[in-house]
Structure 1
Amino acid sequence: MKTTLMNGLLATGLLFGSLSQHAIAADYNFPHLETVGSSQIKIAPDMAEISVQVSLTKNDAKQAKVAVDQAVAKFINRLKDAGVDKNAISSANLSIQPQYHYPSKQPKELVGYRASRQVVVTINQLAKLNDILDSALEEGINQVQNISLKSSDETAAVEQARQAAIKDAKQKAQSLAQGFDRKLDGVWEIRYLNQRPVQPVMMRMEAMQSDVAESYQYGQVSVEERVEVVYRLK
């Protein structure tokens, strides 16, 4: 009877919940149903993490290193003047690569050395983001690699979303059991699928804006949670 009921549900697309690969592989030898609880919460960002880089080519490796070190040092001083805590700045990296020219049918020629340094900054005041980006460019930083918007309320939002996903799973289980004239007999298994908050990566620049700072439109941070639950049936 169990096999017949399961085949019928699969054939009609009415299988309780959405089976994960683990559930498909599991061999439950008792009446049960599965539900998937999910939720999504959107919160306004109030922080940003930016990743910028300076890359310069000079005649020798030392010149290249000195040039990028100077650009990074000036930018860090600007950050400190803007009130950014030193613990929010990461810049301890350096890459130096020889640069070659490859003439046709001739040996390669060394033409210089390219040095690169990356600076990652956490900005706790989103209103300062535009000014900090401007200061980076003014001090010789020539690549903006990534801008990730974040929220200081992210931990609380994750917990709120998780509880909403649990509630969603419970409501679905109760509704399904009632609809099939069955009763729940407790939770047998819980599978929590950890989600990472979806961060808006880049900001959208809108045209026809007179105020440049206001032309940066900050999206919302989307927090999603998902939980799978196996219930025994009476």
Structure 2
Amino acid sequence: MTVIRPLLLAFALTGSTCLAAQAQSPFSSPDAPVRSVTVTGHGEASARPDLAYADFTVLRTGKTAREALDAANTGMAAVLEGMKAEGIEDRDLRTAGFSINPQYRYDQNQDGTQKPPELVGYEVRNSLTVRVRTVDKIGAILDKAVSLGANEGGSIRFDFTDPEDLRGEARRSAVADAKAAAEILAEAAGVQLGRVLDITTNVEQEPLPPVPMLRMAQSAAAPEVPVALGENTIDARVRIIFEIAP
């Protein structure tokens, strides 16, 4: 018996030390897995856009490259002056593309064989992107460009001058959505949520279908192109990992 008692006492002390350490830190071992729940949340924020981008192209043809280029230059110069007359600043006018392409005619012989291509002229395209800071004027801008010589389609895109407030609103909505999902899961599982271990987010603006531009001048009965602005939507998604409390 004198041998057994010290062993029992040592065992009791060791056991109580382990229990105390466990009570202080449920994850005392660095290799112990952290119990967690991972959820995703989605949030949106919408607002009327306050910025627009319009694309125009002046297309001209001629028997020679020089003839086509001169005609395109004249047409684009008129469009640029018209944009400035509508209050568009130089910083909001940008050449988006320029090309000169030969035009060929492909005929066949009477026996069905292909004749060598015949050069019949040249085609010049000069494209312009206009940033419109007063979106209510976009209809007048479209009409003016077409009336002054823009004759090939582009598109209209709507955006925000400063989207940060809207992005923040979408993020807050996404986090609230994720937290609500985590609380439901924790309640159903009979556990409590602890600290947030990780958050990842992705924010993007919902793309809107481009509005096709007219290919010919407006009639006198419709002096301005009708444009509906609608709303742009910013979409946010978050992934949050919550610790499950001990």
TM-score normalised to the size of structure 1?
0.77
User: How far apart, CA to CA, are the structure 1 residues paired with 2:225 and 2:36?
Assistant: 54
The residue matched to 2:38 in structure 1 has which SS?
Answer: strand
User: How far apart, CA to CA, are the structure 1 residues paired with 2:223 and 2:49?
Assistant: 19
Deviations 1:138-179 (A, max 9, x none): 111002311112233522111211122122212221232122
Count of matched residue pairs: 201
Q: Runs of 4+ in structure 1 displaced over 4 angstroms?
A: 210-215
Contact 2:140/2:225 (CA < 8 Å) preserved in 1? no
The residue matched to 2:165 in structure 1 has which SS?
Answer: helix
Counterparts of 1:28-67 in structure 2, within 5 Å, are 29-67=33-71
1:190–1:63 CA distance, 2 compared to 1 (3 A): same
Amino acid in the other structure paired with 2:69: K
Q: Does 1:225 align with 2:226?
A: no
Amino acid in the other structure paired with 1:67: A
Counterparts of 1:9-158 in structure 2, within 5 Å, are 29-91=33-95, 93-104=97-108, 105-158=114-167
Gaps of at least 5 residues in structure 1 are: 1-28, 204-209
1:214–1:89 CA distance, 2 compared to 1 (3 A): closer
User: How far apart, CA to CA, are the structure 1 residues paired with 2:225 and 2:149?
Assistant: 25
1:179–1:188 CA distance, 2 compared to 1 (3 A): same
TM-score normalised to the size of structure 2?
0.74
* 2:181 paired residue among 140, 150, 172: 172
User: How far apart, CA to CA, are the structure 2 residues paired with 1:215 and 1:128?
Assistant: 10
Structure number with greater Rg is 2
- Residue in structure 1 matched with residue 22 of structure 2 by the alignment: none
How many Å apart are 1:40 and its aligned residue? 1.3
Q: Percent identity?
A: 25
How many Å apart are 1:52 and its aligned residue? 1.2
Gaps of at least 5 residues in structure 2 are: 1-32, 109-113, 213-220
Amino acid in the other structure paired with 1:225: A
**Deviates most, 76-85 or 210-219:** 210-219
Deviations 1:120-139 (A, max 9, x none): 01111122111111111111
